[in-house]
Structure 1
Amino acid sequence: PLNPNPDSNWSQYFKDNDVLLQIDKDTRRLLPEIAFFQRPTNYQCMEIINAESETLRKRVEYTVLNAGDVGKNWLGITNVHQKKRSLPDEYATLPEGQEAHWEVVERILFIYAKLNPGQGYVQGMNEIIGPIYYVFASDSDKEIQEHAEADAFFCFMNLMSEIRDSFIKSLDDSASGINATMTNTMLKLKSKDMRLWLKLQEQDLKPQFFIFRWVTLLLSQEFPLPDIIRLWDSLFSDEKRFEFLIDICCAMIILVRDKLIDGDFSSNMKLLQNYPDTDVNLILTKASDIRR
């Protein structure tokens, strides 16, 4: 464990622990408005439950005690600097032999990070996998429930292959990066409602303040889970889904047009960062009109 070589197995172990701690914190807080992710799954992975190796949940507990930064001073003496961390305490841990749904999501995200070292785990990915896993794990078909982890992982991998550029900072300014998407959204708004676009420009309401989250998380934090599932159903079934996402974002802005025109900077910022309750079918209809 004191080996200072960055390519050593222990060095990689500590790096993995840092990633795991962030995933653990994010998945424990996943969709807090529903209790589903804190409940035990009926189809836990018995190979892991019955194995002698530690589970990710236990690994997090050990990491809090054991992880540290390893380095050498100018005299060549190896030092270990203990990191002070505290375990997330939002939810009680389930008894041995059970695992909660959030633990399954944690495993999916950790494996994804290991398989994609160039990208790794980025905060927000938990908001993408959450609804996907929920749909499989809450299906009325017991066979679909049983294979929810594998099916959710497969769908998550395929979806991330399409949106991963939004999670890579070095690609922000590329043609497929998040900045290009935000620019295209504002250009679409400009073509559909010049007065509203000018209002946002006058108040310097930059798309980074609200569209960044909308696009990166596919609107998963803007609406309740049932609405997200309905919205994603239309979004993912569209062959030009990311062009449609721009239309949806544009529609969301236009649907609160009157409030934006009358509002000042602070009220408009609050409005767009905390989008009001709106029928998603109305948003989808408006987005389809914008596309035409």
Structure 2
Amino acid sequence: MLKGKLKLPDRLGNLVVDFEDRDDKIGGSSSVLASSEELEIILPNGLGFSRHKDDGDGLCCTEEKKTNEAAIFRASARPYKDRAGSVSAMAFIAADEKRSDFEYQSELKKNTEEELSSSKQNVDGDSDGLLRRHEISSEDHPLSLGKASVWNQYFQHMDIIEQIDRDLKRTHPEMEFFSGDTSFSRKNREAMKNILLLFAKLNPAIRYVQGMHEVLAPIYYVFCTDIDEKNVANAEADSFSCFVKLLSDSVDHFCQQLDNSSGGILSTLSRMSELLKANDEELWRHLELTSRVKAQYYAFRWITLFLTQEFNLQSVLRIWDSLLSNPFGIQEMLLRVCCAMLLCMRSKLLSGDFAANLKLLQNYPDVNIEQLLHVANDLSPDVSSYCPPL
């Protein structure tokens, strides 16, 4: 009856035929409809739809009715297990949903595997990809004190940088070039810090020793104030090269373990004392034997820092012209200038005691630089310890 009234799918049609056969066997007449009656469409919640009649033959021809009828049969169909080959509509829908879920999960798993594979390729082929986890040894621990520890070296370099920064702020405080607050002054200090830090890294046995910034200051000042713009542009690199060359002959003076060696600071101070004795034995006796003012009390700073803390920058530049151009070599000429500084203060030193002489030599007064260099050039060299420059 329903199958003739409505056009149903084959499987749902079989369900309707089953229901009709079942009603005939029971003998009930409530399920029989007259040929002039239409089946009222019932929603799953028990509410009915209003019928839409066509003006011509009264048949429902709208798409909405077809959709509603299909929805009714999907909701109202029940499994019927007595007839072989019958299919449950709900079971069919559940199986379809299960199949869709399975396909979705399979597709999701496939996409995830492709993403992981792509990420692995990026890590292997591109340095900008994900970082790999590496095993950290005890030497790479931030608290490790081992010499090979990267962290230990980092903290040591940070200590050196802090010390360099403190010293650079005290470099020639009277000059705006070094100690000012302008961007130009900060740029100069930054360049000098780079030079000193690089020297410390390249010479781990010596590293940075307080006072090296005073030796670097005249070199960097000369290059940075050159009239040639090309020299100014390369001032940092040229200063580093000259700084290394200047310290190459006296680098042992900064290493405490080499103080007693032939190239150590004590050996150099002994040579200066012998030079003074060869040119003015009376003054030598008074300083060494009478007042007992040893050369290491005052000349240690003179020699290691190339007299940079004893005179102003312009006087230092004039003295360095003589040091760098003298045929006796830098160290030999430096000892001559130091000895000349004692001879220029001869009368005051002979009349002074230990305290007076030590104060005078540690705070050397202003003198005529040209006269000082003239005295240094006229000194008789210490032939026994003189070595011609290579």
Structure 1-normalised TM-score? Answer: 0.77
Are the counterparts in 2 of residues 247 and 291 from structure 1 also a CA contact under 8 Å?
A: no
Are the counterparts in 2 of residues 244 and 291 from structure 1 also a CA contact under 8 Å?
A: no
1:100 is paired with a residue whose SS is helix
1:2 aligns with 2:142: yes
Question: 1: distance between equivalents of 2:267 and 2:364?
Answer: 23
Residue 164 (structure 2) aligned to one of 23, 30, 54: 23
Write out aligned runs for 1:107-146 (5 A): 107-146=194-233
Q: 1:215 offset after TM fit, Å?
A: 0.5
The aligned counterpart of 1:277 is 366
Structure 1 outlier segments of 4+, above 6 Å: none
Aligned length: 238
The aligned counterpart of 1:166 is 253
Higher Cα Rg, which structure: 2
Question: 1: distance between equivalents of 2:151 and 2:323?
Answer: 43
Write out aligned runs for 1:205-224 (5 A): 205-224=293-312
Are the counterparts in 1 of residues 172 and 179 from structure 2 also a CA contact under 8 Å?
A: no
Residue 336 (structure 2) aligned to one of 231, 247, 260: 247
Mean alpha-carbon deviation: is it higher for 175-184 or for 136-145?
Answer: 136-145
Write out aligned runs for 1:1-292 (5 A): 2-4=142-144, 6=146, 7-38=148-179, 92=181, 94=183, 99-200=186-287, 201-239=289-327, 240-291=329-380
Tell me which amino acid in the other structure corresponds to 1:230. Answer: R
The aligned counterpart of 2:49 is none
Cα-Cα RMSD: 1.8
- Evaluate the alpha carbon distance shift between residue 189 and residue 5 of structure 1 in structure 2; reply closer, same or farther with a 3 A threshold: closer
Instruction: Structure 1 unaligned segments of length 5 or more: list them.
Output: 40-91
Query: After superposition, what is the alpha-carbon deviation per residue over 1:221-253, rounded to whole angstroms, capped at 9, x for unaligned?
Result: 111100100100110112322111111111110
Question: 1: distance between equivalents of 2:186 and 2:352?
Answer: 48
Question: 1: distance between equivalents of 2:344 and 2:178?
Answer: 33
Are the counterparts in 2 of residues 38 and 100 from structure 1 also a CA contact under 8 Å?
A: no
2:365 is paired with a residue whose SS is coil
Task: Tell me: higher relative CO, structure 1 or 2? Use CA pairs within 8 A at least 6 residues apart.
Answer: 1
1:139 is paired with a residue whose SS is coil
The aligned counterpart of 2:78 is none
Q: 1:3 offset after TM fit, Å?
A: 4.4
Tell me which amino acid in the other structure corresponds to 1:33. Answer: E
Are the counterparts in 2 of residues 30 and 102 from structure 1 also a CA contact under 8 Å?
A: no
